[in-house]
Amino acid sequence: MALRQIVTLPEPVLRRKAKPVTKFDKDLQTLIDDMIETMRDAPGVGLAAPQVNISEQLAVIEYSEDEDDEDEEVEGATPKPKKLYVIINPEIVKVSEEKVMGIEGCLSIPGLIGEVERYEAIQVKALNRHGKPVKLKVDGWTARIFQHEIDHLNGVLFTDLSKRVWKPDEEEEIPLD
């Protein structure tokens, strides 16, 4: 495994629509493992292949809903494990009526965060790392991260959707993806 370099704006690959993955070979497995390692190293909660300069429909996501719930932290309690997702050729097939506002940042747009409205819950059809079809139901921040990553695969960045972007204060710790 190896770390990959995360590309930032104005790298053109970030604006391209990524191509579907068709070969589930050894090179793909290496790329997936490298992306997981790169996401964890950043650290980030998600990473899409175009962010490592590969225009293919693949993203990795790792997040625990506990990360934002500092108030609920109980001493001695075991934190909820993070859940790792690998999604390939994803398609959003269902969305909630409810939308929620939240603050996002992006590893490919350093030094900017912004308010983005997202569906509170979504259903996604995708392939797993072995090419097997999967259907995922996600909500909350996980659903937000999924929408952010799937946008990356279409060349869309959060700053396109945000009505307000700003430079974060030091106290504003936003999970990046």
- Which two tokens mark 164? 């307000």
Q: How far is the CB of 162 from Ni ion (least distance, A)?
A: 12
**How close are the terminal C-alpha atoms of the chain, in Å?**
20
**Residue in 18, 60, 106, 145 binding Ni ion, rule: CB under 5 A:** 106
Phi-psi region at 43: left, alpha or beta (left = phi > 0; alpha = psi -120 to 50) = beta
CB nearer Ni ion, residue 24 or residue 36 = 36
CA dihedral sign, ordered 19, 100, 161, 167: negative
Q: Which CA distances in Å does 121 have to 30, 37, 74, 134? A: 31, 27, 27, 17
CB nearer Ni ion, residue 34 or residue 151 = 151
Catalytic residues: 149
CA 72/CA 68 separation, integer angstroms: 9
Q: How far is the CB of 116 from Ni ion (least distance, A)?
A: 11
User: Which part of the chain contacts Ni ion (CB under 5 A), choosing from 9-17, 32-40, 88-96, 169-177?
Assistant: 169-177
User: Which part of the chain contacts Ni ion (CB under 5 A), choosing from 2-10, 11-19, 61-69, 100-108?
Assistant: 100-108
**Three-state SS for 103?**
strand
CB nearer Ni ion, residue 11 or residue 24 = 11
Q: How far is the CB of 67 from Ni ion (least distance, A)?
A: 17
> Counting contacts by CB under 5 A, is residue 116 touching Ni ion?
no
Taking CB atoms, the residue at the shortest distance from Ni ion is 106
* Binding residues for Ni ion (CB under 5 A): 106, 177
